[in-house]
Amino acid sequence: MTTDFTVIKYDGIVSKVSMTVPEEKPITIILNDENLVTLMATPKNLRELALGFLYAEGFIDEIKGVEVISSDEENSTVKVRADSVLRKPKNKIFTSGFGKGVTFSDPLNEKGLKTISSSKVFSAKRIINLMAKFLRSMEIHRSTGGVHCSALCSENDILSIQEDIGRHNTIDKVLGDILIGDISTEDKMIFTTGRISSEMLYKSAKVGIPVVASHSTPTDVSIEIGKRFGVSVIGYVRAGKMYVYTHPERIEMDENG
């Protein structure tokens, strides 16, 4: 989702040019007829955004009994009906303005988070090569440079790729794809362009992802969550190298190729 603007360019000469920028809208998730949260987001794949957010934040624990009644990009709302809600909506609007994610959980003290015990070992060289492919696949980022992107990956391919103005929203959209497709996660990874924050690491661990890798850096709290709950946290995957911050035993680093 992009919009074109006529702007003034200066490079020694003044001229008018057309520039493409990413679209941003307040998207309200309505759960069982109550306004739950308003997220500043790219108005694309709103169904995945809503379902991923509700699961990651502990309002639902499965896709069964959950129905997206409507996904209205024009009016910026997603209406969801759930037979069983684990947390009662507070009938209050929260916002993710200024790029700050919304969370109803304390990632370091979340009792419902289980330690990941996946025995899958991932190739470091394949992660590096797949990250390069991931960075080439970002459609909106390629045209505007103004969005974040996250992807669900097997060791060999990109399974789902999601773009949004918010880092946290991209993870929620990927989680939505996992729930809708009933995708197994014990042998999967999440790649992201932005820094790995505590909320993003928590959301990934919630669905059992054993590896989270970024083109950028993890935060100290995300590293702590990775250590505690068995997630391999990888940062600065670029230019043929990467840094493994937690659980390196899951990453095969063969110096001989």
Question: SS3 for 120?
Answer: coil
Q: Which of 39-53, 127-141, 177-191 tops mean pLDDT?
A: 177-191
For residues 95 and 40, is the Cβ–Cβ distance under 8 A?
yes
56-71 average pLDDT score: 85
**Joined tokens for residue 97:** 């303005």
Q: How far apart are the C-alpha atoms of 151 and 142, rounded to whole Å? A: 15
Q: How many residues in the chain?
A: 257
Question: SS3 for 22?
Answer: strand
Q: What is the pTM of this model?
A: 0.84
pLDDT given for residue 72 in this prediction: 74
pLDDT given for residue 142 in this prediction: 62
pLDDT band at 103 (very low <50, low <70, confident <90, very high): low
Contacts 24+ apart (CB under 8 A), 87-95: 87/57, 87/58, 87/59, 89/31, 89/32, 89/34, 89/35, 89/36, 89/59, 90/36, 91/34, 91/35, 92/35, 93/28, 93/35, 93/37, 93/38, 94/37, 94/38, 95/26, 95/38, 95/39, 95/40
**Joined tokens for residue 207:** 């669905």
Q: Is the pLDDT at 97 greater than 50, yes or no? A: no
Contacts of 56 (CB under 8 A, 6+ apart): 171, 172, 175, 202, 203, 206, 207
Q: How far apart are the C-alpha atoms of 134 and 191, rounded to whole Å? A: 8
**Joined tokens for residue 191:** 């790649």
Residues 43-52 have pLDDT tens digits of: 889 999 999 9
Q: What is the percentage of the chain residues whose pLDDT exceeds 90?
A: 46
Q: Which domains does the chain have, with CATH numbers?
A: 25-106 (3.10.20.10), 122-252 (3.40.140.10)
